[in-house]
Structures are given as C-alpha cells and as structure tokens.
Chains A and B, each alone.
Chain A
Amino acid sequence: MSLSGKAAITGIGETDYVRGSTKSAFRLQVEASLKAIEDAGLTPKDIDGIIPIGITGAPAEEFVTNFGIGDLRYSAVTPLGGASGIAAVQSAAAAIAAGICNHVLIPSGRNVSAGARAGVRIHQMPQFHLVTEYEYPLGAIAPAQLYAPMARRHMELYGTRSRQFAEVAVAMREHAILHGNAVMKKPITIEDHQSSRMIADPFRLLDCSLESDGGAALVVSAAERAGDMRQAKVVVAGIAEGHPDSPSSITQRAEMTRLGIAKAAPRAFAMAGVTPADIQVAEIYDCFTYIVICQLEDMGFCGKGEGGAFVENGRLKLGGALPTNTHGGLLSQAHMLGMNHIVELVRQLRGQGGATQVEGARLGLATGYGDLGDGAIAIMQRV
C-alpha cells in the first residue's frame, strides 16, 4: 500500500514570530494549534492523534488535558531534530491510512529567549552522546562547528564558494521581508554577507539561522474527508524520511557531503510519481545556507557538487526557476524547526501565499534536516 494521496494537511496555524516573547513555549504551541484546528473547521475535541515536535514540545497528555480530548487514539514522537515535522506528517499519514485515527495534531513551539538555545543543548541530548564524549571536550560545541566541516569539504572538492552561500541568504531575506511575519526585516546584500563576521569557518553570521520564539501547528486528516472540510485540498503525494550513514557522528561519516535526504528523496519522488523538474515551489530546511545547497543536490535538482552554481542568478528567488523558502525560512523568518516550512508550503498550494505567492503553484515540496544529518521530504499537491 502506498501512502500517496491518503492524507491531507487540512489545518495550518502559526503565531507571530518574534524575539523575546513573554509567552511560554506551551502557550505558543497551544495558540498555533487552536489556529490550525479552526483553520481545518474542526474543534479541539475532534483531535484524536497528537505528535508533539521537538525537545520543547509538550507531551500529548498536556493537549488532552487542556483540550478535553476524550479518546486520543494515537500519539507518537519523531525524534529527527529539524526533520521531525515531516517525519511526523509521515507517521500521521500512516496512522490515518491504517484507520487508527482521523485527525492528527502536530504542534510545535519554542521560546528560546527563555532558555533552550540550540547551541548549548547538544551535550544534553542522548543521540549526540558520541559527539559529547569525543568532540565536545575539544571545543566542537555548537551545530555551526559540527556542520562546518561538511561545507568545507564540499568547497574543497567542488569549488563551492562563500558567495554562493550568500545567494541563499539574500534570497531568504528578500522573501521574509515580503512575507511580513518574519523576525528579520532589514534587506541584505551579497556584500553584507561577505562582510558579516566569521562564526565557524566557512560559516559567517549570515550563513546561520535565527534563534526565535513562536509556534506552528498542522492538522493532518484523511484525504477522503478533506474535500468536505474548510480549505482547499492539499494532499501528501510523496513522503519519506532518511537517515545518513554514521548518524551519530559526522566525523566518522564516509561521505560527509551526503545527507539522509539523499536516501529519502528517491522514495518520495517515486511515491508521488513526479520528478524535481515538476516542483513549482520548495520550502527547504535552511539551518545554514550550505545545507540548502547540499539538499538540492541530494534531492536530484542538480548533480553532486553543482549546488553552488545552481543557486546563482536568483534561481531560488520569487520569479526564479525554483522559488524557495517563500516565507524566509529559518535564516530570515524564524527557527520553528521546519514546521514553518510545512505551513508555508500548504499556504502556497492553497493560493494563500499573499505577497510571496508563487503564481499557480499546485505541486511543491518541503524538507527537514536535523540532528547530525537526518532528513525528510514531503511532496504535496493541490487536488
């Protein structure tokens, strides 16, 4: 049985994305969830499956208690870091297709201003225990430092340049400013990127995503019910997760320029029956500029080593051949663990994209990337 077309994203919700929110992470999750449930035309008591996202995600029980859910039939966690959201959609689609439940809520939200910054928690996470033991004591502390050698290797092997990373950063910023609900509001140029301070060579400040506060949520329902619901029908046409070789240590990975999504993408495209050339809009996980370039290669939009040239000449900008991160992404909208990428994709395919709407977009994809290379991809279609 293929999951293709079995599930639809029937509700999306997100809060304003800010820095210094006074709201708790759980409140941000609840606000986004209530919006998503209303967007779907449901009430909170209709939810019968919950998959909380991220280490700041409140457990399903909190939602059951607060929403008065009488019969939760399905709960799960998908611990893939920034790929967790799409892995959760896959899990929800599978549970729905199997008849276990009807409407799965996928809530996320974080308040990093109140504590949980990405860079200081790696050593507390069990999936990073080898890094914690052998690399953290050497001064490999933050994701920027762990991922930088992947980018450096790519630059040395393929001649990829920092100015090409800048192309990604500039496109994301332009989209964020047009979109409106974004933390970063000031335009940047290639030269601004090139003169931003070095963090972990080759990553400069403007190669790195934001720490920000907010909430984002989805409701996933059976596709056959979605036609009777409030919004235009956006189905999951192809979806897969992939885990890289040596998932616990990038240092030990034979080919460190290849991510888990390289395994997932062929499965997702085959499930959907489409190719990269068919994709009209892409929301690509962008914790660092380089990670976008690497995923474009791993998904087959171009060959390995060609990603730097691929992103030149505004290809990722609105009006380019592959409009990407029409919300500004993690680099310029907000770091919402990639949940904001899924929300934005659905909005685009419904035609609700506002100032960053890709004209006539009917088929698009979102990706996630997390921990030390886990990947996930969802190809969605307006039907």
Chain B
Amino acid sequence: MSTSEKPRPHETEESRPYWRGAERGALMIQRCAHCGKLRHYPRLVCDNCHSLESDWVEASRRGTLHSWTVAHHAFHPGFAQDVPYVLATIDLEEGVRALGILDAPADGKLAPGAAVTGRFERRGDGVSVLHFFLARQGPRLVKGDDQC
C-alpha cells in the first residue's frame, strides 16, 4: 500500500485558499483586488495591473470541455489502479481554465464544447481533487476525423 500512494499537493502561501476551498467543496479562484482580473492558477502578481493585492471568489464549477487526454499508462504507481482515466481541460464560465478528472467512459465519444459541471471528491488520503461530469452533449466545434 505504501508504494501506491498518490502525490499530494505541496501547499504554499498562495495556494492555501484554493486547497481550503477544495476541502469544503468550493472552487476558489484568485482575483486581483485592484483591477478585478481573475487568475488561475494562483500567483503572486496580477499580470494586468501588477498589483500584489488579491482576494478570492467562489467559481460556479460550470464550464465546457476544451481538450483532454485519456491516461492509459500509469506514470506513477499511485494511479496504477485508476487507468484508464480522463484528464480534462475545462473552460470555466468565469473565463479561466481548470484541469480535472472527467468522470466519463475512457472509450466514450468526447467533443470540445461539451458542457460539464465540477465537484470536489475526497480521496482516501484526504485530499480533495476536482472532478467534472458531462452535463449534456455539447456542440462539436469542428467535425474532426479521429477514428484512428
């Protein structure tokens, strides 16, 4: 069991509000206290106005599928039991992106623009990580031939 532990986040001063929010199921996004620009992932300075002051807002957890990968090979022993799993890049309604685990069949048909809803799920090791679920089949941006 000791070899199959998943990696844990290394919290920093900047990321602590995100992980505290995750524990209570809230997706917290950092906001510039001067110009109001949202930024994700959290960082020290606003890239718009260069203010060092920031606060936090709770995001809707609604968004659309931007891209994804299906992990078939476990590059870390902690995920050996999880493959295949889908890692999804999500355009959140708030205008920033999030990466989460998409709870959809690994061999299912996915398309950019599909509507998703997010939810934090507490793992066995107590870490709450972001999962997304397909809300309904969204429109396909461009018809792509990805059969092979």
Contact = CB atoms under 8 A, between A and B. Distances in A.
A272 B67 CA distance: 37
B7 A137 contact: yes
Interface stretch (A36-44, A56-64, A128-136, A369-377): A128-136
Contacts of A155: 144, 146
A359 interface: no
B67 A149 contact: yes
Contacts of A66: none
- Give the interface centre of A123, A162, A252 by most chain B CB atoms within 10 Å: A252
A133 B72 contact: no
Given A132-B10, A153-B67, A138 B101 contact: yes
- Give the interface centre of B12, B69, B82 by most chain A CB atoms within 10 Å: B69
Contact of A148 (B66, B69, B97, B144): B69
B96 A139 contact: no
Interface in B13-32: 15, 18
Interface residues of B, number: 48
A162 B69 contact: no
A134 B7 CA distance: 11
Interface in A167-181: none
Interface string A139-161: 11110110011101101111111
Contacts of B18: 134
B10 A133 contact: yes
Contact of B75 (A134, A142, A156): A142
A156 B89 CA distance: 14
B142 A156 contact: yes
B133 interface: no
B145 A149 contact: no
A140 B9 CA distance: 12
A294 to B, nearest CB: 14
Interface stretch (A67-75, A105-113, A192-200): A192-200
B134 interface: no
A161 B10 CA distance: 38
A159 B69 contact: no
Nearest to B15: A133
Contacts of B98: 251
Interface string B28-52: 0000000000001101000000000
A141 B76 contact: yes
Nearest to A159: B144
Nearest to A157: B142
A256 interface: yes
A160 B143 CA distance: 11
A200 B43 CA distance: 29
A129 to B, nearest CB: 8
Contact of B73 (A132, A199, A249): A199
A198 B96 CA distance: 30
A201 interface: yes
A138 B75 contact: no
Contacts of A252: 40-41, 96-97
A180 B129 CA distance: 48
Nearest to A197: B72
A225 interface: no
B67 A150 contact: yes
A346 B25 CA distance: 56
Interface in B119-148: 127, 129-130, 140-148
B70 A201 contact: yes
Interface string A80-104: 0000000000000000000000000
B97 A251 contact: yes
A173 to B, nearest CB: 19
Nearest to A194: B148
A139 B77 CA distance: 10
B72 A141 contact: no
Contacts of B69: 145, 148-149, 152, 200-203
B97 A153 contact: no
Contact of A149 (B40, B87, B144): B87
B70 A200 contact: yes
A134 B112 CA distance: 22
| 6 A-B pairs with the lowest CB-CB distances in the bound complex, closest first | A148-B69, A201-B70, A141-B75, A149-B67, A142-B75, A153-B67
10 contacts: A133-B10, A136-B7, A138-B130, A149-B66, A149-B69, A149-B87, A161-B147, A200-B69, A256-B66, A256-B89
Given A134-B9, A139-B76, 6 more contacts: A138-B129, A139-B101, A152-B69, A198-B72, A199-B72, A200-B71
Interface of B: 6-12, 15, 18, 40-41, 43, 66-73, 75-76, 78-79, 82, 85, 87, 89, 96-101, 111-112, 127, 129-130, 140-148
